[in-house]
Structure 1
Amino acid sequence: MKVTCKEGCQKEFEIKELKKEDIKVSGQNIERYYIECPECKKEYKSFYMNDDIKSIQKQIRTLKNKYPLKEKQKKKLAKLNRKIEYLSKQLKKEIEE
């Protein structure tokens, strides 16, 4: 996938890898994922992940492996996805403020 470094050198580059950095915030181990322009090294944040989010992702993978899903499982999957979205927004807000 090609993107343009809009805040840095304005060059177009291909995303080859998502970089990861481990950080500690409020006693939590958090992983910060980002891409970096190979030309000017400008970082573009992608997302953050903590142990709670990883645990929910594991539950989602387990549910998806039970395909085809029953109605109750579909509802649980939707609920877990909403929970990840909420936790991700909260984590981002906590870190970036």
Structure 2
Amino acid sequence: MEPIYARCDKSCNQSFYVKHFKEDKLHNTIEKTYFNCPNCGQEYVCFYTDEEVRKLQKKQRELQRKLKWVTDADEVKALLIEQDKLRAATKERMDAIKQKVEQQHEQ
């Protein structure tokens, strides 16, 4: 994966490349993916996942592989519709997890 250019907009305003993301297992099956500013250590959460999200992501990867080989226009259209549904379901679930984790963190 290509490094991502970032700026610490919460603390030191330092620019840097994110070369590696970190993962921490939280309670139950929830995992947090994040990176830290190398200058001040400020944490930036990218996203949270659980078993359901990881299954949805796996389905998306499988669908991507399938799309590479399909030539029938109707089948491609159907697969793209399925892909959009999977993306929407994944985003909805990830947003719900983020809200739950952040609410628990505030308490």
Question: Fold conserved (TM > 0.5)?
Answer: yes
- 1:56: which partner in 2? 56
Q: 1:23 aligns with which of 23, 26, 31?
A: 26
Distance, in Å, in 2 between the alignment partners of 1:84 and 1:51 is 11
Q: Which protein is richer in helix relative to its size?
A: 2
The TM-score with structure 1 as length reference comes to 0.88
Helix, strand or coil at the partner of 2:58: helix
Equivalences for 1:1-97 in 2 at 5 Å? 1-24=4-27, 28-67=28-67, 68=70, 70=75, 71-97=77-103
* Distance (whole Å) between structure 1 residues aligned to residue 29 and residue 14 of structure 2: 34
Answer 1 or 2: which has greater strand percent.
1
TM-score normalised by structure 2 residue count = 0.80
The gaps in structure 2 that reach 5 residues or longer are: none
- State the AA in 2 paired with 1:75: I
Shift of 1:73: 2.0
Equivalenced residue count is 94
CA distance in 2, matches of 1:38, 1:18: 12
Decide which moves more: 64-73 or 29-38: 64-73
Deviations 1:54-95 (A, max 9, x none): 101111111111123713222211111110010011110111
TM superposition shift of 1:47 = 0.3
